[in-house]
Chains A and B, each alone.
Chain A
Amino acid sequence: MTETIENVQTQANRNEALLSVRDLRVTFQRHGEKPFVAVDGVSFDVRPGETVGLVGESGCGKSVTSLAIMGLLPRRGVKVEGEVDFQGTDLLRQSDDQMRDRRGRDLGMIFQDPLSSLNPVVPIGVQVTEVLERHRGMSRKAATPVAREMLDKVGIPDPERRLKDYPHQLSGGMRQRALIAMALACQPRVLIADEPTTALDVTIQAQILALLKDLVEDTGTALVMITHDLGVVAGLCDRVNVLYGGKIVERGDRHPLFASPRHPYTVGLLGSIPRLDGTRGERLTPIPGSVSDNLPWDSACAFAPRCPNAIEVCREARPELLDDGGGRWLRCHNPVENPLEVTR
């Protein structure tokens, strides 16, 4: 029933949403193994020009969610249910060929490790023109100046020379810029960035995030920002979805969510970010335990064994994702008090 409340609310947003993920469920079924639900009823909307964060610890289902949206999960051994509405078409019901036409044209994606995401034996220029040849029907010759312009746009100095370079000749940051150039070459409406800065140095991370922000603001591209680091989404996202064990546990607008996280898991995540000003998390408090302690969502809160706020009901009944009345969605029986409310 609670899902219905959410549906009613999102029904209103639906028309404006560019990408609307509804009740996405991904189950891995290996031969002779028990099925494993990696993504368990995830729903979120992304509007044009908006940046939406998907945050959670490693293994919570972020990459699987993005691969499911892109249609990049293998057909065999994987069951994908739900709906991924993109401008009125359900991407989960498109054929392989239709999805191949959309990827790189309507939907772009960038990955975690820029070096291994580039083909080591093909020059950068060829890898950028390849997308243009594929989706714009350009010749290699016609596509080359466009590719050069793209490299320039993503802040790669001396793009003419870089076109001929191989990936190992570029620095980590430059490689990620090149991948962004490839993903954005055909101006997709949606860009999914799966931990785009995890493999980079801290100083480069900030540059790449700033670049992504500029690019999506310029073109009105919707950005789905995936990370295990709340610090990354802090400066970038309009809305943040916190994922735990394949389910969204908290969702809210960026500012209120950071000012007053209410789900104990979000509080824990924020506590483990180093803060320069020392206002919060002076001591880095990592969340105790690991995802291997999780309880099954069917009959409990998966987070209960690790949760400082856990009460009896947490081990007996599944919490549902509910609106707290102020635009914040929570899946929790005993959320942290809202400090803003308390002071009011």
Chain B
Amino acid sequence: MTPNPLKTQADRRKERIDDLAATAGGSPSGTVTGAGEIEESPGVSLIASAWRRLRRNPVFLVGAGITLAFVVLAIIAPWIAPHDPTQGLLLDKVRQQSNPIPGSEPGFPLGADNRGRDLLSRLLVGAQQTLIVGVGATVIGLVGGLTLGTLAGAFGGWVDSFIMRIVDVMLSIPSLLLAMSLAAVAARPSQMTVILAIAIVEIPIFARLLRGSMLAVRSSDHVLAARALGVKQSAVVFRHIIPNSLAPVIVQATIVLATAIIDAAALSFLGLGNPDDRKPEWGQMLGASQEFLGDHPHLAFYPAACIIIVALGFTLMGESLREALDPKSRR
């Protein structure tokens, strides 16, 4: 399929969200044909069959492998890092004029940065910062998005229109631009302002997605059956609609994590992140490396490679999950 050139990027973004949302709710009601045949049953069996397809999908396995390795490394980084990433252990090797970047030597496989700090340890501990920012932003974005999406999906009417109007406006701004603007207005940039800026960008994605999948689930047979038993409105929403609307949201969260990691790196690179470089962070390391790019490109290469590999891992995993859930996205 060739994408419609007239369609703006914002429209495509919304369409992608809506396609994923439509996978919730299983088959629409009344799938029994006149002859009494039933289409494949929705719900758990759908997830089970998606899982069966995933297990044999090399793209998913690679993505999941990278993701798992990254998460494990990030968590155990402080224990496996050969040195303290904040200590200028090779400071005496730094020669301001002749050799600003100490090369590798025994115990320091990747050498050190311009302040004599072990590069490998900084990369490892930097993984932890990346994980904290990515997960922190996505969790806050999820909570915010789920709250707004629930309000919109449960109440409908003007609440829905109001929330969705704001959400759509936010979705029409490119996410990095929005995150940069938000981070730039912070009085004192810090890790928290990065997390918040990225979280706010994610909120409309999750809100639109959850609302869409709640609408799909709301018209499903089992919600009608629950209403036919007189189940209270709140229980219909919280027990019957929302738990069945979450699968697309979880899939989206893995994709969003990749974007969050790249966005966080971009913000730090631009100096909008934590100014304290004693806490190593990949984007900020990349930013600091610019000064030495000509003679010592490895300083830029390592953090950049880490960012790309990790973002790729989350994207491969997320996209194959999405594909398994939504056959329509296999184009």
Contacts and interface: CB of A to CB of B under 8 A. Distances in A.
Nearest to B48: A168
Interface string B12-38: 000000000000001101111010101
Given A121-B243, A122-B239, A130-B235, A116 B229 contact: no
Contacts of A115: 38, 41-43
Question: Quick one: which of A101, A198, A228 has the most chain B CB within 10 A?
Answer: A198
A103 B32 contact: no
Contacts of A103: 227-230
Interface in A120-134: 120-122, 130-131, 134
A9 interface: no
Contacts of B30: 63, 112
Contacts of A93: none
A116 B228 contact: no
Interface string A309-331: 00000000000000000000000
Interface in B111-134: none
Interface stretch (B196-204, B217-225, B287-295): B217-225
A179 B225 contact: yes
Interface residues of B, number: 33
B230 A199 contact: no
A277 B43 CA distance: 41
A261 interface: no
Contacts of A199: 32, 36, 38
Contacts of A179: 225
Contacts of A70: 228
Interface string A101-120: 11111001101110111111
B222 A119 contact: yes
Contacts of B41: 115-116, 168
> Chain A interface: which size bin?
35 or more
Given A116-B26, A198-B32, A182 B222 contact: no
Interface of B: 26-27, 29-32, 34, 36, 38, 41-45, 48, 220-222, 224-233, 235, 239-240, 243-244
Given A195-B32, A198-B32, 11 more contacts: A58-B34, A111-B228, A116-B31, A116-B222, A119-B226, A134-B235, A168-B43, A168-B44, A179-B225, A198-B36, A199-B32
9 contacts: A72-B227, A103-B228, A104-B231, A117-B221, A119-B226, A134-B230, A134-B235, A195-B32, A228-B34
Interface of A: 57-58, 63, 70, 72, 100-105, 108-109, 111-113, 115-122, 130-131, 134-135, 166-168, 179, 182-183, 195, 198-199, 228
